Amino acid sequence: MGGRLGHLTLPIFSVLAAIGYVYYTTVFVAVSRWLGLSTAAGVANAAAFTALAAACVATYAAAVRRDPGRVPPDFVPDVEDAKSSVHEIKRKGGDLRYCQKCCHYKPPRAHHCRVCKRCVLKMDHHCIWINNCVGHENYKIFLVFVLYAVVASFYSLILIIGSVVHSVPKDEQSGSYSSRTSIYHEGVRAMWLAEKGGDLYHHPYDLGVYENLISVLGPNIFFWLCPVLNTVGNGLRFRTSYDIPISTPPM
């Protein structure tokens, strides 16, 4: 059950939190990482998205606070009115539509909302995300909010994808630099340093399943189960994953 009109509810806080999260991620993560907030392109995109986000918040607030339309208490349909060519009647009996709960006649397309506990003009539906009905007086503002939200979502998606694509070359460059490194830390410390720097740890002596087996059992598969010494190397220097060419990655 929703609260009274204009009152803040958990769904409303959820929508506002989602808008704030998308705004922060788009401007201060995607735009800052891709274009930079000190460049003309970065400032232009940040300003454009800020305007869209502000429009979303403004139209959302209006949809929340705007009364969807009340039926005048003295409303009585005039069946002889020439300006009204359509009159709605009950399904059974053919009488004019009358709300037993509000104790007044219903205009065309008006319906009683069980949440708001009153009749709403041109009622479309009750939306828990605005804690309000969508009706005659706020239908347009609700539609405009949805339009702004869709445009802002696509804009945010484009900026986030651009940021991710832009960051790929940097990651590849850092990977190529690490491939030329000849100093390694031992197991636990290497893993700790990698996690501290936000990188994925890959053991330098892990050559893949097949190459690892060869380094221990020998290059001849027929002697793998024989008690003969045919291990690779002299035990003083070992082949690492950085010695394998990029075109033939370890298995």
The residues assigned a catalytic role are 127
Please give the backbone phi and psi of residue 131, each rounded to the nearest 5 degrees, phi first: 50, 45
CA angle at 91 for the pair 106 and 133, rounded to the nearest 5°: 40
Rg of the Cα trace of the chain? 34
| Calpha distance 243→204 (Å, rounded) | 9
> CB of 109 within 8 A of CB of 129?
no
> CB of 36 within 8 A of CB of 42?
yes
Q: Measured between alpha carbons, how far apart are the two ends of the chain, in Å? A: 58
> CB of 106 within 8 A of CB of 88?
yes
Q: Which residues contact 193 (CB under 8 A, 6 or more apart)?
A: 185
Which region, left, alpha or beta, applies to residue 7 given φ > 0 means left and ψ of -120 to 50 means alpha?
beta
Which region, left, alpha or beta, applies to residue 24 given φ > 0 means left and ψ of -120 to 50 means alpha?
alpha
Nearest to 250 by CA among 203, 200, 209, 195: 209
